[in-house]
Amino acid sequence: MKSLDSPVETLSGIGPKRAVLLANLGITTVRDLLFHLPRDYQDRRRVTPIAEAREGETVTVEAEVVRARQVRLRGRMSLAVVTLRDSSGEMQATWFGRGFLAKAFVPGARGLFTGPVGKYKGPALKNPDYEMLSGDDEEDRLHTGRVVPIYRLTEKVTQRMLRRWAWNALNACAPELDEPLPERLRAKYKFPQVGQAIRTAHFPDEIDLAQKARARFAYEELLEIQLGVLGERAQRLHEEKGIRHMTNGPLLAAFRASLPYKLTSAQAHAVDDILSDLESPRPMLRLVQGDVGSGKTVVALHAIAAAADGAHQTAVMAPTEVLAEQHFLVLRGMLEPLGLWVELLTGSMRGAAAARRRILRGEAHVVVGTHALIQEKVEFKRLGLVIIDEQHRFGVYQRSELAAKGTNPDVLHMTATPIPRTLAITVYGGMDVTVIDEMPPGRLPVKTRRIPADKIPDLYNYIVERAHEHLQTYYVCPLVEESDKRELAAVTTHFHELSAGPFSGIRTALMHGRLDPDEKDRIMREFKQGLVDVLFSTTVIEVGVDVPNATTMVIEDAAQFGLTQLHQLRGRVGRGNVQSYCFLLGMPKTEDGARRLDIMCKTSSGFEIAEEDLKLRGPGEFYGVRQAGLSDLRAADLIRDVRLLDHARRDAQDILKRDPALAQPQHALLAQRAARFRQRIK
């Protein structure tokens, strides 16, 4: 007996070899096969007689192959020309650049050909999709005269095979499918019941109906995910085990009074959100997302001051030593005047033992560090607040390890990596999210230009002139991986050649990931102090470093970088009140590369860039997406299904309000799947 969970080999026509091929599509069971939903449909109900095919239309003809030949064109190109015939007449079908196809058409064979009608010695189908018929009537009826599904394929598996197998699987097992969606929700969206929906998704009477059926499964999937991520959160909302921080104490007041500028309203909102989390008894889990330079650090400082008012320690974890050191300097500069002790703890540091003692005794109020903070020997006296900068750089495990050093401390995540909203509410669905979408006043957006090869000497002159005005330049060369010696050579060569040539009159320095941390630190410090005019570097300067006097960013071979990374690099300039420029060098080798550079020139908004990046790369490549178990969605598409996602999220909230543990029988299946999703992202 076949059932949903039987291996696909139990279906006729699938042997061990084909089972292996199907596994490439993620299909191992009959259920998987059913949920291998079509990526598209073709309406083959209307077959056009050849005599009626008009230029400019897209038609399907059912015809016999009369003859097929390969026509050589200029160069190595060739054309396949196949003469087709039905009872009304003859026409050609041509495949440009694919002359080899001619061999595949045997005179006398019958097939369906779908494509636009153009011209080749009379009306001709241009590059049509085609499918040959078997001559077996019953079999052919699955593939003709109806709306047919088009599946994602793999090697040696054809549309016809998948259609046949899906058909068999539907007949054998569709009635067994349990309905996970409560009646109420199905009625709300007029979704078909599961068994009918799966049939319609594969073999719809109308294409519209198929879309509705597919939407049902996409919604179902998104609802399960939202129940998974929000479920955790709902549990936390019921917890009262967190710390009630003080938010009207003297340190916070003194800190506010010490600020040399007014907060932007986005910053003020973020501070409000955070302070109300802090004073509530449930542990905070909030993500602050703000473009580079939007002023996240000062927002975090409010939280630190509030924690210190209640004699709680704060741990701040950053992904790199350079960044940890920079945070340390900024925090110390602002907190020491208030009488707070700020400690630095990194892997390479001398005097770590003494620092750890001060942390254990509670003499250190704030500890800034790298992942060295999560070492076992680091113990806090009273850790009440954890801040994680550039949080996507850490694994879930590292983040929770740090929080485990306190008793339900409040946790604040910060990221400058803009994430499209659709992804944010799925990937970070379990966190509260605050967006800082405003820049401090007076900031001039960085102007971005592409520099053609013949203008590079002008660029060098420009950089030298800026240096004479004490304005500095970053000169970034690509480095694919820290260990890539060739790329390292690239930055080193540029540094030596330019330092000896056009930049011989100004001060240059070289920085890359291979230098030891002391050396990196020294160079970075010299650059910050204005002792270096041009800093040649790999992407080690990518995150967070703040040098207001640096106003020029040059990126060699810019098309090598991803959009998000380009945007991060560009964020290193434009941090003061002088107009900054970002110059992109090199010719893109791919269309996508060219598109990335165009987008960079067009917009300076991190969120716009993130949306574009999502379109170019697809969601699979985004930080956090894979970890969040979102790279193998069956029906949902995070770009196309934004509306469904909003509905799913609201419905999930609503369900959890009525049934927080998903204990009601009508939610049983949803509960199971949500739990499975949570398991996957653990």
In the set 416, 476, 488, 563, which binds ligand ADP (CB under 6 A)? Answer: 416
Does residue 546 bind ligand ADP (CB under 6 A)?
yes
Please identify which residue in the block is written with the tokens 């996602």: 645
In the set 115, 544, 624, 629, which binds Mg ion (CB under 5 A)? Answer: 544
- Residue closer to ligand ADP (CB basis): 293 or 429: 293
Shortest distance, CB of residue 634 to Mg ion, whole angstroms?
A: 38
- Residue closer to Mg ion (CB basis): 38 or 544: 544
- Residue closer to ligand ADP (CB basis): 323 or 359: 323
Going by their DSSP bridges, the two strands 410-415 and 285-290 should be labelled as: parallel
Shortest distance, CB of residue 279 to Mg ion, whole angstroms?
A: 25
- Residue closer to Mg ion (CB basis): 418 or 619: 418
Of 119-127, 295-303, 340-348, 463-471, which part binds ligand ADP (CB under 6 A)?
295-303
Shortest distance, CB of residue 638 to ligand ADP, whole angstroms?
A: 26
Shortest distance, CB of residue 272 to ligand ADP, whole angstroms?
A: 15
Phi, psi of 213 (to 5 degrees): -65, -40
Shortest distance, CB of residue 429 to ligand ADP, whole angstroms?
A: 23
Of 97-105, 149-157, 292-300, 672-680, which part binds ligand ADP (CB under 6 A)?
292-300
- Residue closer to ligand ADP (CB basis): 180 or 293: 293
Shortest distance, CB of residue 441 to ligand ADP, whole angstroms?
A: 6
CA-CA-CA-CA torsion sign (60, 66, 67, 73): negative
Of 300-308, 454-462, 481-489, 540-548, which part binds Mg ion (CB under 5 A)?
540-548
Alpha helices in 394-484 (DSSP H): 396-403, 421-427, 456-468
- 114 in Cβ contact with 44 (< 8 Å): yes
Does residue 295 bind ligand ADP (CB under 6 A)?
yes
In the set 297, 426, 537, 560, which binds ligand ADP (CB under 6 A)? Answer: 297
Q: Which does 247 bind (CB under 5 to 8 A by kind): Mg ion, ligand ADP, none?
A: none
- 463 in Cβ contact with 534 (< 8 Å): yes
Residues 6+ apart with CB under 8 A from 260: none
Of 25-33, 191-199, 290-298, 553-561, which part binds ligand ADP (CB under 6 A)?
290-298
For residue 163, the Cα-to-chain-centroid distance in whole angstroms is: 33
- 561 in Cβ contact with 478 (< 8 Å): yes
Shortest distance, CB of residue 289 to ligand ADP, whole angstroms?
A: 10
469: buried, middle or exposed (CB in 10 Å: 19+, 13-18, 0-12)?
A: exposed
Please identify which residue in the block is written with the tokens 């330049």: 473
Q: Which does 588 bind (CB under 5 to 8 A by kind): Mg ion, ligand ADP, none?
A: none
In the set 298, 412, 597, 655, which binds ligand ADP (CB under 6 A)? Answer: 298
CA angle 177, 178, 181 (to 5 degrees): 125
- Residue closer to ligand ADP (CB basis): 393 or 575: 575
Contacts (CB under 6 A) with ligand ADP, residues 244-263? 261, 263
Give the whole-angstrom CA distance, residue 399 versus residue 558: 32
Closest CA to 129 of 201, 38, 81, 59: 59
Does residue 264 bind ligand ADP (CB under 6 A)?
yes
Q: For the chain, report the end-to-end CA distance as a whole number of angstroms.
A: 36
Q: What is the CA radius of gyration of the chain?
A: 31
Of 291-299, 513-521, 529-537, 578-586, which part binds ligand ADP (CB under 6 A)?
291-299
Give the whole-angstrom CA distance, residue 235 versus residue 197: 33
Size of the site for Mg ion (CB under 5 A): 1
Please identify which residue in the block is written with the tokens 């292996």: 20
The residue type of 386 is: V
- Residue closer to Mg ion (CB basis): 169 or 553: 553
Closest CA to 32 of 224, 124, 169, 236: 169
Give the whole-angstrom CA distance, residue 411 versus residue 288: 11
Shortest distance, CB of residue 348 to ligand ADP, whole angstroms?
A: 23
Q: Which does 512 bind (CB under 5 to 8 A by kind): ligand ADP, Mg ion, none?
A: none
Of 439-447, 496-504, 505-513, 543-551, which part binds Mg ion (CB under 5 A)?
543-551
The residue type of 278 is: L
Does residue 293 bind ligand ADP (CB under 6 A)?
yes
For 14-21, the CB contacts below 8 A with 24+ separation are 14/165, 18/156, 18/157, 18/161, 21/154, 21/155, 21/156, 21/157
- Residue closer to ligand ADP (CB basis): 210 or 292: 292
**Other beta carbons less than 10 A from residue 672's beta carbon:** 14
- Residue closer to Mg ion (CB basis): 230 or 439: 439
Give the whole-angstrom CA distance, residue 79 versus residue 586: 36
Q: Which does 96 bind (CB under 5 to 8 A by kind): ligand ADP, Mg ion, none?
A: none
Shortest distance, CB of residue 297 to Mg ion, whole angstroms?
A: 5
Contacts (CB under 6 A) with ligand ADP, residues 550-609? 575
Give the whole-angstrom CA distance, residue 219 versus residue 199: 17
Closest CA to 63 of 100, 138, 115: 115
Positions in the binding site for ligand ADP (CB under 6 A): 261, 263-264, 267, 290, 292-298, 416, 440, 546, 575
Q: Which residues bind Mg ion (CB under 5 A)?
A: 544
